[in-house]
Amino acid sequence: MADLYLMRHGQTLFNARHRIQGWCDSPLTPLGREQARRAARLLEGIEFDHAYCSTAERCCDTLEIVRPSMPYERMRGLKERGFGLFEGEPEDLNPKWEDAYARVCPPVDGTRPDPSTWDGYEVVFPHFGGETRMQVVDRMRVTCLKIMARPGHERVLAVSSAGACRSFMMNWLTTTECEDILFEGRVPNCAVMRFSYIPPVAGDDGREGRFEFAEILRPDMSGLPTD
C-alpha cells in the first residue's frame, strides 16, 4: 500500500507577525528553519521515492531542509487557501465568528441557522476574491490523487500549508475526527500526516482512488519557543 506524507511548512515571518497568509508568501523565520531541521530528523529513516510542494517559497524552503538533495516538483494545487484582498493583512481582520453570525444571521421568526454549520470565512473571503472552503477541499483532493496515481509513487512527501492540509483531511474525516487528531483544530508547523492511498479497483470506470488517515507525526520541538 502506498503512503502520502503531507507536511506543513515551518514558521514564517507572517506567522510570527500574525498576518493573513494564503497565496501571498513570506520567508521562514530562524525558528521555522529549526522546526524543519527537527522534522528532517524525525523523517530521516523514511525513504521517499518522490517529493512535491506548493509553489510558495515557504514550502519549497521547508522541503529543501527536510530533504536537501532530493529533486521535487512544485504544484499549484498544493497551495494554501486564497484570501483575496485580505492577503497580508493583520489577522485581527479575520472574521470574528460571534460578530459575523449576529450580523449576517439575525433572528428570523425567533430562529437562526444552525450555528454548528456556520463559517465566518465563507461569508467574507469569497466575496473579496478568496476561495471557498470546498474549492480548497476539492483542489487538494484532486491534486493528491493525481500525484499518487503516477507510476512508482509508493512513499511520497508533500509540503503544503495548514489550511490546505486540514482541507485535505476533510475529504476523508469528519470535523470531530479532525479536531481529535489536531491540536485545538490547528495543524502545527512541520507536523506530518500520513495517509494510506487506496487506488481505484480495476474496471471501476470513473471511480477515484481514496485515502485513509494513518497517523500524525510531530517533531520534537522541546526547547523551542512556541510559535
What are the two backbone dihedrals, phi and then psi, of residue 150, each rounded to the nearest 5 degrees? -75, 150
Candidate list 9, 34, 87, 131, residue with the active-site label: 9
What is the C-alpha to C-alpha distance for residues 11 and 103, in angstroms, rounded to an integer? 34
Catalytic, 131? Answer no
Catalytic, 34? Answer no
Q: Return the C-alpha cell found at 116.
A: 454548528
Nearest to 94 by CA among 86, 104, 105: 86
How many residues belong to the chain?
A: 227
Candidate list 34, 50, 80, 131, residue with the active-site label: 80
The residues, any chain, with a CB within 8 Å of residue 220's CB and separated by 6 or more, are 38, 42
Which residues are tagged catalytic?
Answer: 9, 80
